[in-house]
Amino acid sequence: MPITYTSGEQVEVYRFSVPVTVGVPLLALFLQAFVPLRFPFFSIFDLPLLVTIFFAMARRNPVSGLLTGALIGLIQDALTHRAIGLYGIAKTVVGFGASSMGAKLDAENAGARFLLTLGFYLLHSAVYFTVARGMVSLTLDWSWSRGVLAGLANAAVGVALYFVLDRFKQRT
């Protein structure tokens, strides 16, 4: 049974089948954990974040967006040795923001997707660092150059990934 979400009237709302809804986030988490072993530079990417943004923008429903983000973030937290909730909170905010933006903007073209992904990557980093420093007292070094570079790389990969994932969209 497909999962459906409804939202605004002007923009089109998409749904995804259960295998895609479950499988794509799991695959993203798996690749995020596995690929850096062979290609260390891959850790600069955040595939679970890109998947969160994609689903949130496609469904255009803030509640489903934030819940998707929270779930993916919590699983991502569970794979680390840090406290559970750091990625959860950051991706909840991003999921909510992406679905809210998706409901107001036409995020189908590559340029808009690139900018949105870049913006949400920086938002994600800001929330993560704030919570990590403020609540867990982690010593994290923020580098603007590295952050922006990683944001650009994630945005570029995100645009390509979104076009692949667009094939799984189902019109409501």
Binding site for other proteins (CB under 8 A): 26, 29-30, 32-34, 36-38, 40, 43-44, 62-63, 66-67, 70, 74-76, 78-89, 92-93, 96, 100, 128, 131-132, 135-141, 143
CB of 128 or CB of 162, closer to other proteins: 128
CA distance 25 to 23: 6
Contact 115/70 with Cβ under 8 angstroms? no
The distance of closest approach from Cβ of residue 82 to other proteins in the complex, given in angstroms and rounded to an integer, is 5
Find all residues with CB under 8 Å of 10, minimum gap 6, and list them: none
4-9: list long-range contacts, CB under 8 Å, 24+ apart: 4/172, 5/59, 5/60, 5/61, 5/64, 5/172, 6/61, 6/172, 7/59, 7/60, 7/61, 7/99, 7/103, 8/60, 8/103, 8/104
E-strand ranges in the chain read 14-15, 170-171
Q: CB of residue 109 vs other proteins: minimum separation in angstroms?
A: 26
Least distance to other proteins, CB of residue 47, Å: 8
DSSP lists the bridge partners of residue 171 as: 14
CB of 29 or CB of 118, closer to other proteins: 29
How near is the Cβ of 114 to other proteins at its closest, in Å? 22
Q: By C-beta, is 95 or 162 nearer to other proteins?
A: 95
Is 142 or 163 the residue whose CB approaches other proteins more closely? 142
Taking the complex as a whole, the smallest distance from the CB of residue 48 to other proteins amounts, in Å, to 8
CB of 44 or CB of 157, closer to other proteins: 44
Contact 17, 7 (CB under 8 A): no
